[in-house]
Structure 1
Amino acid sequence: MTFYDRDDELDALASAFDSPGYAFFVIYGRRRVGKTELIKAFCSERPHIYFLAAQEAEERQREKFVERVANYFGDRVPRIDGWDDAFAYLGEKTDTEDMIVAIDEFPYLVDENDSLPSYVQGFVDEHLQETNSMLILCGSSVSTMESTVLGHESPLYGRRTGQLDVTPFSFGQAREVISYDIADAIRSYAITGGTPMYLTLFDYEKSLRENVQSHILAPSSMLYNEPGFLLRTELRNPARYISILEAVALGHTTPNEIAGATGIDSGPLSKYLQTLRQLRLVDREVPVTASAKKSKRSRYRVADEFLRFWFRYVEPNRSSIEEAPDIVYQGTIEPNLPDHVATTFEDICQEAVWELVRQGDFAPYSEVGRWWYGEDEIDIVGLAPNDDRILFAECKWTSEPVGESLANDLRQKADNVRWGSGDREEQFALFSKSGFVDGLSGGLDSNWSLIDLDTPDRLFS
């Protein structure tokens, strides 16, 4: 897989390794986000031992690890009876050379021996801290990494010198990979999301339809069964979680709506939702003007664009896809795709707001998010408390140009947003896929911005 971006992450790792003293970094994140490629890119021109753990018996794992260390130093493979001896051997070697030791998929080792973090602790305390070497522990099981490595109860707690939570690419980062024009790039991102593995599977010289049919709707393709595989790596019994993700992807976003769609009582449902949040599979949102801890107006959304697409279009239609994937695309996906893309477009417009702030085209805001109350919703609201300034924006992914009615509607809804003083400064913006009707800009004040697709094309090219 081609390595893209991750400049900030590479800089953080390089700075840690090049600085005096030891470094102990923890790298984690969902599968397919490019953690292994990141480690390999960082290690490529530096002295290193890279060990990829596997799902196999503890003794064989330990033998392979020791073999890897011995081969690097040109030693005969020593006889090792336990992990304490293995890390003692590694410690002897790191005393002689500044280097990187990277253990990938560390949770596989922990699955076979839950005392392993204690052995790593001994290595860090007794050997690594006296060197200029670097230890990297990496894992795709977010729950295991956060509990056994980063958690308060872990023997390793407080010993790391840095950590990287590797997340999927934003649209701006993914734009480097997606070579479609801006409209199809947004459509494509709404399907693959920012996971590097999914982004690089698509052939951007082919149409979006061809890519979806060959890489998602084909039962033999990797992405056809990918979500099930992801869930099974984290959850022993994923059936109820699959039901929740499907319900949320289909538009049931409040706890009551999810409970009604899945038949899961509110008590157990809250625990399932909390687990899905911990696994980065769903996000909880509250209105941007509300307190995340106190607000009861929460909504849930599938946190990944590909999973949202898959649970909306693939999981409910598996039987039909097995028989006639072309018909599923033509009859179900294609007619409803604009509605699916519209949600992604809102996120991309939020990303554009932040970029416009960074470039000085917009005044600064400390928070940007959605707002809703009762029947009123606003796609983007930006808050600048120190300046008593607020931004209101709507995002329209439609085939028709935006006209005056949307501007009037946004003005009315803005009056219902209780935030700031009575003299607050109000800024407005309209984002539109299909541009704006002639004369609209002439009827608006200077506190309005009209933004078509040329702007994100410029910002993210």
Structure 2
Amino acid sequence: MDGFIGRQKELQSLDDLLARVKEGGRTGRPGKAVLVRGRRRVGKSRLIAEFLDRAEVPHLFFTAVGGSKADDLAAFLAELARSTLPERERYARYRPPASWDEALTMLADNLPRDTPVAVVLDEMPYLVREDPSFEGALQKAFDRRLSGLPVLLILVGSDVAMMEQLNTYGRPFYQRGTEMVVPPLNPADVAELTGLDAADAFDAFLVSGGLPLILEEWPEGADIWTYLENALHTPTSALLVSGERTLAAEFPTEAQARRVLSAIGHGERTFTNIGRAAGDLQPTSLKRSLELLTERGIIAAELPLSTKPSRLTRYRVADSFLRFWLAFVGPNIAEVERGGGGRVLSAVRDSWTSWRGRAIEPVVRDSLWWLTYDGLPAGSEVIGGYWTRTNDPEIDLIGADRGPVANRIGFVGSVKWLERKPFDQRDLAKLHQHRAQLPGAHETTPLLAVSRAGCTAEGIRVLSPEDLLAAWRR
């Protein structure tokens, strides 16, 4: 697929930072820094490359390889010589620096004083792990030299937890840079990239998770079954390899955390059931793994949303692509490699309706969040769900003024995501019953239905896939 779609907010933020560099800053120190983080393969490097192409400023784009400190220092010097920085030829005459303090000093000494430039350090967590002194060297170079030059320093990393920690109190680079989070492409971007209608675009989002590498392989106008037919017969497809690469990077040694994640990916949601499915883990070991997964943003730990406190935490895979990959792809990679992609595709078809019905709920909640101040009842600033220990009731959508313990319930809703069955009078009667069981709701609390196939019931507001996609486009 040609062109660059989405990321307008992120591009505008980078443009604004570069404009401040060009203006010189009110303090007389024009140099700015931005820490860019996001999950692997969401397109961070591609975003920065697109920004540099549009900005047309001299730049250095260095990507750490995660080898040794000496290897990355030598590669840094070589990249300086290949950069578009002014007088870059001089770097070819230098010997490789022995430390990052020396490397960054060399960079600062040779940057122009009157021409705005950009310096990108990609995969920065590798540099932090290789050399404990790197953060201090970066802070020293920025405070003493780079902040006084017209330079935009862009620090990029896929280790989300580490990138967050770099800008926390007590770390050398604390409060020296703006933070930017690059999410996957959203459902509206997926619709534009694939050429699919709203309902099918949400299906494509559930499979791809909005990862650009997967969407680049998606034939224009193809539904998920056409795409999966191709991807599951190609062992090197982005659909197959992206999940394993993500897990290998996130958990190079934590096999237990991967077992816990696999249990959640296969549909287990409660602490007890996850521990049992992961091999009867001891509660302390399971708690540690769940904390690690939550800290890294791989899973979400959620509580029921109502006016009554609850301790019934449930867990889900936070990333749509990983949720699909763990359920259908990861356990069957060997089957695909043996030429059994057709059997894997049949298994997806058999489970698709029930799996999708659960997987679409957090996507719908995220979509409704964009309607909070324009289209939802007052007091719906937080969107969640509600459940009890016995799942009687289990409510798909709750809008409230705050969470997880609300003062006011804004609405109670249901998601029905079937191709040929609209939300009907029976569904409405069930929703009335569930509203009566929700702490904080009453008979005048508004009701809401989100339905893929429309609605035949009367007296309830209904949102369609087109309405949800329009929310993302805003």
* TM-score in same-fold range (> 0.5): yes
For residue 296 of structure 2, the aligned residue among 251, 272, 279 is: 279
Q: Shift of residue 389 of structure 1?
A: 5.1
Structure 2 gap ranges (5+): none
Q: Shift of residue 426 of structure 1?
A: 1.0
For residue 162 of structure 2, the aligned residue among 126, 144, 157 is: 144
For residue 226 of structure 1, the aligned residue among 238, 242, 253 is: 242
Listed as ranges, the matches of 1:431-450 within 5 Å are 431-437=450-456, 440-441=457-458, 444=459, 448-450=460-462
Q: 1:41 maps to which residue?
A: 50
Letter in 1 for 2:311: K
Letter in 2 for 1:450: V
For residue 447 of structure 2, the aligned residue among 425, 428, 448 is: 428
Q: Shift of residue 304 of structure 1?
A: 1.3
CA distance in structure 1 between the aligned counterparts of 2:356 and 2:410, rounded to whole angstroms = 26
For normalisation by structure 2, the TM-score amounts to 0.87
Letter in 2 for 1:264: L
CA distance in structure 1 between the aligned counterparts of 2:379 and 2:18, rounded to whole angstroms = 35
Q: 1:163 maps to which residue?
A: 179
Q: 2:18 maps to which residue?
A: 17
Q: Shift of residue 287 of structure 1?
A: 1.2
Distance 1:12 1:188, change over 3 A: same
Q: Deviations over 1:242-279 (max 9, x none)?
A: 32222112221011110111121111111111111122
Listed as ranges, the matches of 1:61-72 within 5 Å are 61-70=72-81, 72=85
For residue 349 of structure 1, the aligned residue among 364, 368, 373 is: 364
Letter in 1 for 2:250: E
Q: Shift of residue 358 of structure 1?
A: 4.4
**Aligned residues of 2:232 and 2:341 also touching (Cα < 8 A):** no
For residue 118 of structure 1, the aligned residue among 136, 140, 149 is: 136
**Aligned residues of 1:383 and 1:389 also touching (Cα < 8 A):** yes
Q: 2:119 maps to which residue?
A: 101
Listed as ranges, the matches of 1:7-406 within 5 Å are 7-19=8-20, 20=25, 21-44=30-53, 45-70=56-81, 72-74=85-87, 75-77=89-91, 78-79=94-95, 80-94=97-111, 96=113, 97-147=115-165, 149-160=166-177, 162-216=178-232, 218-262=234-278, 263-289=280-306, 295-321=310-336, 322-330=338-346, 332-360=347-375, 362-363=377-378, 365-374=380-389, 375-384=392-401, 388=408, 390-398=410-418, 399-406=420-427
User: How many residues align structurally?
Assistant: 447
Q: Shift of residue 125 of structure 1?
A: 1.2
Q: Deviations over 1:111-141 (max 9, x none)?
A: 3322111111110111022223221111112
**Aligned residues of 1:3 and 1:37 also touching (Cα < 8 A):** no
Letter in 2 for 1:369: G
Q: Shift of residue 84 of structure 1?
A: 1.7
- Once the two structures are overlaid, the 10-residue window that deviates more, 126-135 or 166-175, is 166-175
Provide the secondary structure at the position in 2 that maps to 1:214: helix
CA distance in structure 1 between the aligned counterparts of 2:80 and 2:469, rounded to whole angstroms = 48
CA distance in structure 2 between the aligned counterparts of 1:344 and 1:179, rounded to whole angstroms = 22
- Once the two structures are overlaid, the 10-residue window that deviates more, 449-458 or 252-261, is 449-458
**Aligned residues of 1:215 and 1:223 also touching (Cα < 8 A):** yes
Structure 1 gap ranges (5+): none
Letter in 1 for 2:101: D
Distance 1:110 1:354, change over 3 A: closer
**Aligned residues of 2:213 and 2:238 also touching (Cα < 8 A):** no
- Once the two structures are overlaid, the 10-residue window that deviates more, 426-435 or 349-358, is 349-358
CA distance in structure 2 between the aligned counterparts of 1:143 and 1:354, rounded to whole angstroms = 25
CA distance in structure 2 between the aligned counterparts of 1:355 and 1:82, rounded to whole angstroms = 47
Letter in 1 for 2:52: C
Q: Shift of residue 216 of structure 1?
A: 4.2
CA distance in structure 1 between the aligned counterparts of 2:367 and 2:140, rounded to whole angstroms = 47
**Aligned residues of 1:390 and 1:425 also touching (Cα < 8 A):** no
CA distance in structure 2 between the aligned counterparts of 1:281 and 1:290, rounded to whole angstroms = 28
Letter in 1 for 2:139: Q
Letter in 1 for 2:47: L
CA distance in structure 2 between the aligned counterparts of 1:57 and 1:231, rounded to whole angstroms = 22
**Aligned residues of 1:246 and 1:315 also touching (Cα < 8 A):** no
**Aligned residues of 2:401 and 2:410 also touching (Cα < 8 A):** yes
- Root-mean-square deviation over aligned CA pairs: 2.5
Q: Deviations over 1:47-72 (max 9, x none)?
A: 32211222333223212323433553
Distance 1:183 1:288, change over 3 A: same
Q: Shift of residue 316 of structure 1?
A: 3.2
Letter in 2 for 1:27: V
**Aligned residues of 2:32 and 2:151 also touching (Cα < 8 A):** yes
**Aligned residues of 2:36 and 2:180 also touching (Cα < 8 A):** yes
CA distance in structure 1 between the aligned counterparts of 2:334 and 2:156, rounded to whole angstroms = 38
Provide the secondary structure at the position in 2 that maps to 1:64: helix
Distance 1:67 1:151, change over 3 A: same
Q: Shift of residue 185 of structure 1?
A: 1.6
Letter in 1 for 2:7: R
CA distance in structure 2 between the aligned counterparts of 1:285 and 1:389, rounded to whole angstroms = 17
**Aligned residues of 1:430 and 1:449 also touching (Cα < 8 A):** yes
CA distance in structure 2 between the aligned counterparts of 1:271 and 1:387, rounded to whole angstroms = 32
Q: Shift of residue 241 of structure 1?
A: 2.6
